[in-house]
Amino acid sequence: MAKKLYLIKEGEISLKGGNRSLFEKRLRHNIKDKLGEFNPIFSKQKGRIYLHLDENADEKKVFKALSTTFGITGFAKAYECKKDLDEIIRTAEKVLNENPFSATGTFKIDARREDKSFPMSSYDISVMLAKTVHEMFPDLSVDLKNPDNTLCIEVRQSVYIYTNDNKGPGGLPVQTAGRAMLLLSGGIDSPVAAIRAAKRGVKVDCIYFHAYPYTSDEALEKVKTLASIIAPYLGGTRLYVVPFTDGQLRIKKYSYPDETTLMFRASMMQTAERIAKSKKAIAIVTGEALSQVASQTLEAMNFTDSMTDLLVIRPLVGMDKEEIIKTAKEIGTYETSILPYEDCCVIFSPKHPITHPDKETSKKHYRALEMDEEIAKAIEKAEVFYFNAMGDLEG
Ligand code: ATP
Ligand code: MG
């Protein structure tokens, strides 16, 4: 009898040399983190991972898990059967009953014979299964170049048959490239920056600076919602909510009006650095894009970089807003990001912010603000929320 399983295609991992098994182990671990309740068991054959789950595993959950796990380029629900012609045909019928083709249009059989001892060639297999498809969907014709429907069959140790090949997010498994702290605001950009960093294997936790009551409870809720949406891509994430009202008020009171944003950004960097170091994170990620706003000029970024000796990565640096929005829509954060609760109240934003600060002068001004105590207090009062790898808030 045919057995259900999930076939997973890995992308860049397969190009890894000596470290390949470490990347694969991490990928399996990350999948297990999401689907542990269904008792996952993995097996491997050349370029494919086979994931076996409990019979009654929730397919929606499996889809969500696999489509958000970096390191996977594609996946499909498949049926495995013996290398027996009758069984192959019966299994193909079962697959097509569960995932029917469109009634009209075209189809293709995509047959792969990895086991060269199997007596039929991939052409023979295709002809045999095309007959099955014709019987079930008499109005479909064959199109090998641009088919509307595809039935895939792979003959390996067993035979694997599937129709829907889903796209995975690509990239490399999270936690293969060290840890970073993301500055997460309620805007469009920073959740996208998180995804971009995670896609290259970085394990990302988030920090949000909350200036209650100048920033509302709704603004905080919005940030929590964003964290829960990106958490599956990040393989789970901590959200540190740092109360920064006193810090903001101090900056507002003592800094030059055109420098308030810059000074706030400097103190965010320093706060993030301290939290990062206590958690063994070695980089800070922000959603800045070059020249998007006054504080994102080369000079301003150079100044904020000088506030920390951690690596600061800005994955969106060369992206237009349109491109960022496109990704935000794909990952599902856009609708939340555009909700109208501002993450930073207008009273803290200068009318004419400085765009080309002199690094040494601004550093001197920042030192004069003596922010250390406010930063230490804020970190002490920070609240932590943990969103697990399926995006659920724990604890
Ligand atoms: P976003 O759309 O992500 O809010 P933005 O274009 O509005 O970005 P800024 O508000 O200047 O730009 O913020 C630039 C970056 O600084 C953000 O992408 C985020 O990484 C960080 N940031 C800004 N405000 C906060 C905050 N309140 N808490 C944490 N990080 C913040
Ligand atoms: Mg913002």
Query: Is the beta carbon of 284 within 6 A of some atom in ligand 1?
Result: no
Give the other-Cβ count within 10 Å of 200's Cβ. Answer: 15
Ligand number nearest CA of 215 is 1
* Mean pLDDT score, 304-328: 96
Interval between CA 185 and ligand 1 midpoint (Å): 5
For residue 234, pLDDT over 80 is answered with yes
Helix axis angle for 85-98 and 122-136, nearest 10°, is 50
At 85 the three-state DSSP class reads helix
Quick one: pLDDT at residue 66? 98
Q: What residue has token string 């689907």?
A: 35
pTM for this structure? Answer: 0.93
Quick one: pLDDT at residue 13? 83
Number of separate helices (H) and strands (E) present in the chain: 13, 16
Quick one: pLDDT at residue 295? 77
Burial class (CB in 10 A: 0-12, 13-18, 19+), 356: exposed
17 vs 186, higher pLDDT: 186
Which tokens belong to 271? 């706060």
User: What is the position in ligand 1's atom list of the atom closest to the CA of 210?
Assistant: 27
Query: Is the beta carbon of 271 within 6 A of some atom in ligand 1?
Result: no
Helices (H), the chain: 20-35, 59-67, 85-98, 122-136, 189-199, 217-234, 245-254, 260-278, 298-305, 321-331, 334-337, 359-368, 372-381
Average pLDDT score, the chain: 94
Query: Is the beta carbon of 382 within 6 A of some atom in ligand 1?
Result: no
60-99, pLDDT tens digit by residue? 999 999 999 999 999 999 999 999 999 999 999 999 999 9
Distance of CA 353 to the CA centre of its chain: 33
231 φ, ψ (degrees, to nearest 5): -55, -45
28-47, pLDDT tens digit by residue? 999 999 999 999 999 988 87
Q: Are 259 and 348 in contact (CB under 8 A)?
A: no
Least confident span in 214-218, 350-354, 355-359: 350-354
For residue 343, pLDDT over 70 is answered with no
